[in-house]
Amino acid sequence: MPPSRPLLSFNSPPHNDADSFEAEPTTPTKTWIHYLPLILLIIFMLAPHPSLLIILVNHYLRYLEAPITFTIHLVLLYTLAGLSFTSLIVCVVRDPGPVVSPKYSAAAQDESGVSGGDELGLTEALMGMGMGEDDEIVPGKWCRKCWAPKPDRAHHCSICDRCVLKMDHHCPWLGSKCVGHRIYPAFVHFLACITLFAGYVTVVCCKALYFAFYSPMLVNDAVAVHELFLGFAGIVVTIVVGSFLVYHMYLITTNQTTLENLAPYVLLRHLPPLPASLRLSDPPQEHELSYNQRRAVQNAYKSVKMYDVGWKQNWAQVFGWSDARGCVMRICCGGASKGDGRTFMRNPGAVGMLSQLASDLATVDKTA
């Protein structure tokens, strides 16, 4: 007879072993519509190249007769274009950061008695929230949608229907996937390469257009049109994508994610225990707070940078490497962030600020 199944169990995503789970976590099936923005992005990245080649060949080879300058521009431009595609490939094919780790898969197997870790035992599910020695399974760090531990800085994406380590945001342009711990450096690398490429194209086109205005008899009208439109497009892309790049450079410098920067109520996950008289959850939820309490949280989050440990360490946490090949990977495709994506150093000064915020939440309605 086949082995009996438990009457009550909590199914974790199906997988063969821990390694395969880390590499290929279960995600909702995507249709071609999910990949439409990615296809459009690739088209936008390839569209300027015919006009760019026309400008380079005519301006530097036919008009200026400068083959060395032509070769330098060609190599630099297509190096940036190639690097942007490598980082885009990494962003699309690499998992952003699976949350469930092998030790919890093993614990599920031991508790349920089912080989392969396909079942999470009732005892661990109900009692484990207070037993985590590494502080992963505690109130507020357990995802009730995935029914799995939710480590520090991990968030559940409602579109992908999964939790992602150090989730930054959900990006439809990457094939409708999240930007998380394992692809964030590649994402920033992609923004940087696109910005540099667009800026470089703008400079080349503007110089060629300036030459066309002062030498109208030499320049073909069709080439001038290519220079005009491609230069304008380069300015637009440089401003738009460059703005995102500058914003993410600020986030790296202060060690924040987009969600942490735009969602002040994430601070509630880190508050010390509040008085029982407030009748709030542990940690408190946004909808449970009064108007004055919400204002207190919004005012506090501007100065509380939970993970800011100095700009050098912040950048090293994202782009640092531990072996000789790491430098090459960062240059070629951005690579991946250091660490396991589950534990992070915290700002020592944030503890006092959170304690003050907890005190304000307990008294703000009394003094209002």
CB-CB neighbours of 256 under 10 Å: 21
Say what the pLDDT of residue 140 is.
52
Instruction: Please check whether residue 283 is in contact with residue 271, taking contact to mean a CB–CB distance below 8 angstroms.
Output: yes
pLDDT tens across 353-367, in order?
Answer: 888 888 888 888 777
Share of the chain above pLDDT 90, in %: 45
- Is the pLDDT at 322 greater than 90, yes or no? no
Confidence class for position 19, pLDDT limits 50, 70, 90: very low
Instruction: Please give the residue that has the higher pLDDT: either 262 or 141.
Output: 262
- Is the pLDDT at 198 greater than 60, yes or no? yes
Instruction: Please check whether residue 329 is in contact with residue 83, taking contact to mean a CB–CB distance below 8 angstroms.
Output: no
Average pLDDT over residues 89-93: 95
- Is the pLDDT at 171 greater than 70, yes or no? yes
Task: Count Cβ atoms within 10 A of the Cβ of residue 216 and give its class: 0-12 exposed, 13-18 middle, 19 or more buried.
Answer: exposed
Say what the pLDDT of residue 151 is.
87
For residue 15, how far is the Cα from the chain centroid?
25
* DSSP SS3 for 140: coil
DSSP structure string for 109-155: HHHH--GGG-EE-HHHHHHGGGT-TTS-SSTTSEETTTTEE--TT-E
Give yes or no for a cis peptide into 283 (omega within 30° of 0). Answer: yes
User: What ranges do the domains of the chain cover?
Assistant: 258-367
Share of the chain above pLDDT 70, in %: 81
Say what the pLDDT of residue 196 is.
97
Residues 169, 174, 175, CA angle at the centre, nearest 5°?
110
CB-CB neighbours of 123 under 10 Å: 10
Instruction: Say what angle helices 48-56 and 67-93 make with each other, to 10 degrees.
Output: 160
pLDDT tens across 122-160, in order?
Answer: 333 333 333 344 444 454 577 878 888 888 889 889 888
Instruction: Please check whether residue 178 is in contact with residue 170, taking contact to mean a CB–CB distance below 8 angstroms.
Output: yes
Lowest mean pLDDT among 37-51, 119-133, 222-236, 352-366: 119-133
- Is the pLDDT at 247 greater than 90, yes or no? yes
- Is the pLDDT at 102 greater than 70, yes or no? no
Confidence class for position 265, pLDDT limits 50, 70, 90: confident
Average pLDDT over residues 240-244: 97
Say what the pLDDT of residue 116 is.
38
Pairing verdict, β 177-179 and 169-171: antiparallel
* DSSP SS3 for 273: coil
Say what the pLDDT of residue 273 is.
84
Average pLDDT over residues 19-46: 75
For residue 210, how far is the Cα from the chain centroid?
40
Lowest mean pLDDT among 163-177, 245-259, 345-359: 345-359
Looking at every residue in the chain, the average pLDDT score rounds to 81
Instruction: Please check whether residue 25 is in contact with residue 94, taking contact to mean a CB–CB distance below 8 angstroms.
Output: no
Say what the pLDDT of residue 28 is.
63
Instruction: Please give the residue that has the higher pLDDT: either 249 or 267.
Output: 249
- Is the pLDDT at 46 greater than 90, yes or no? yes
Confidence class for position 302, pLDDT limits 50, 70, 90: confident
Instruction: Please check whether residue 38 is in contact with residue 30, taking contact to mean a CB–CB distance below 8 angstroms.
Output: no
Q: Across the strands, what pairs with 169?
A: 179
| DSSP 8-state code for residue 268 | G
Q: How far is CA 109 from CA 106, 117, 170, in A?
A: 5, 4, 32
